[in-house]
Amino acid sequence: MCGRFNLTATPETLVEHFGLQRLPRYQPSYNIAPTQKILSIVELDDKSLKAVNLFWGLVPSWAKDSKKHLINARVETVREKPSFRSAYQHRRCLIVATGFYEWRQEDTGKQAFHIHRQDNQLFAFAGLWEFHEQQDLYSCAIITTEATEVMKPIHERMT
């Protein structure tokens, strides 16, 4: 389950890697947390890709209370859950990262792990996005799945 991640690539690297025309305002960060604006890539009607900033914590379009935001969506139930069903069918995105953090419970407390590619290059999480008209809010959630054998010793879920 992803609760923090980082994105430290240069704007030039992001534009080249994803074939983008331009980026929105972007600031590299080693500690991106829920409720922050995060760099995401959405597909437009003409199939081109556009980089946008989305609020990390999905608020369904029909929600009356925007204080309850959902940072992660389980891939096993994303098709059925009312909070994610429409976004899963129509509004998927990529959430750009260079690494993420997971914590393992130890006898002495929690131990943090930074998970990243060996070459420190970019990758992307699968995500969903929504627009809440009354709040004028574009928001997103990261899709998580059961951990692989490599990740299981650290955490039971992963992005």
Check 2, 93, 130, 140 and give the catalytic one.
2
| 93 is a catalytic site residue | no
The DSSP code sequence of 83-113 is: TTHHHHHH-EEEEEESEEEEEEEETTEEEEE
Residue 103 · residue 111 · CB < 8 Å: yes
Tokens coding 76: 């096993």
Nearest by Cα to 18 from 45, 44, 40, 46 = 40
Nearest by Cα to 72 from 116, 113, 34, 43 = 34
Query: Which three-class secondary structure state does DSSP give residue 15?
Result: helix
Alpha helices in the chain (DSSP H): 11-18, 85-90
Check 12, 16, 102, 140 and give the catalytic one.
102
Query: Which three-class secondary structure state does DSSP give residue 100?
Result: strand
CA 59 to centroid of chain Cα atoms = 14
| 106 is a catalytic site residue | no
Catalytic residues: 2, 102
